[in-house]
Amino acid sequence: MNQKKCYEIKFHETDCLNRLKEPVLLNFLQDIAAVNAEENGFGYSKIQDKEIGWFLTKYHIKLFETLKNNGKIYIDTESKGSVRINCIRDFDIYNSEDKKIGEATSSWVLTDLETGKLVLPSDIFDNLPPADKEHLRSNFPKVPMPAREDFKQEFTARYNEIDVNRHVNNAVYLTWATEVLPIDLLLNTRMAEVEIQYKQQVKYGEKVIVTAEYDQDNLIFTEAVKTENGEIACLIRQKRVNC
């Protein structure tokens, strides 16, 4: 079953132009996903004693308008079922006038927290049907590695960025991907579409290097988050539009 929830955009959740910070939106999506999963019997409380965790692997998000601090937004979410080991979840975003201003789809996996091995959803839940593969909102095309290092910055995973699974929260990767870009560009553009593909966990105290290739003609950034030993933790491709 689907679920709709209201989110009041607070002052501290906006940037210097009064726009909702893009990583905050990811936190909203994660929140309603967790609430809906609990309501439908496959949430955190159902798996925590099994030493199994939900891990987000992919996002494909489209925003049709700037999300400003105009009071409230509403997010509707629904589980679309499973495709082999992947569980698909869609989101729709509305403004206070019930106009659709964005949409997203995501892919999640179950992981054994002790061994790190993936777990088949059908082995744990009997109420998660197969997804209709012909009508999925996105096929999650592969995000390529940046061909150049037009922008580059190093970050360290901090305590307040760690979630219940003791790794960096998924929204933090988008924070890093945003921080690496020039401020003038951020002030004059907004995110219109973003694809995020999570490859590896980053834990407290670990350093990462974020590099970005900039397609100036199309305002597209292809970004990689790498660990100190060069492994890919996350790949991001975001298209921005002028404000």
Local confidence pLDDT in tens for the 243 residues of the chain: 889 999 999 999 999 999 999 999 999 999 999 999 999 888 888 887 888 889 999 999 999 998 877 689 999 999 999 999 999 999 999 998 999 999 999 999 999 988 989 999 988 888 788 888 889 999 999 999 999 999 999 999 999 999 887 899 999 999 999 999 999 999 999 999 999 999 999 999 999 999 999 999 999 999 999 999 999 999 999 999 998
Nearest to 238 by CA among 22, 73, 15: 22
Eight-state DSSP code of residue 12: G
| DSSP-derived 3-state class of residue 155 | strand
Q: Who's near 70: CB < 8 A, 6+ residues apart? A: 9, 95, 96
Q: Please give the helix or strand (H or E) that residue 187 lies within, else none.
A: helix 183-188
Pick the CATH number of 1-140 from 3.30.70.360, 3.10.129.10, 3.60.10.10, 2.40.30.110: 3.10.129.10
Question: What would the two tokens of residue 113 be?
Answer: 């927290």
Percentage helix, strand, coil, to 5, in the chain? 20, 45, 35
Question: What would the two tokens of residue 142 be?
Answer: 């592969």
Q: Who's near 87: CB < 8 A, 6+ residues apart? A: 79, 81, 107, 108, 109, 110, 121, 128
Q: Which amino acid is at 127?
A: N
Residues 79 and 122 sit within 8 Å (Cβ to Cβ):
no
Instruction: Give, in degrees to the nearest 5, the angle at Cα 176 between 10 and 18.
Output: 25
Instruction: Give, in degrees to the nearest 5, the angle at Cα 14 between 179 and 96.
Output: 135
Residue 50 backbone dihedrals phi, psi, to 5 degrees: -95, 0
> Would you list the domain boundaries of the chain?
1-140, 141-243
pTM beyond 0.75: yes
pLDDT at 186: 96
201 to 208, 225, 233, 238: CA distances (angstroms): 11, 11, 6, 21
Architecture of domain 141-243: Roll (3.10)
Task: Please classify residue 97 by burial: count the beta carbons closer than 10 Å to its beta carbon, then call 0-12 exposed, 13-18 middle and 19+ buried.
Answer: exposed
**1-140 and 141-243 share one CATH topology?**
yes
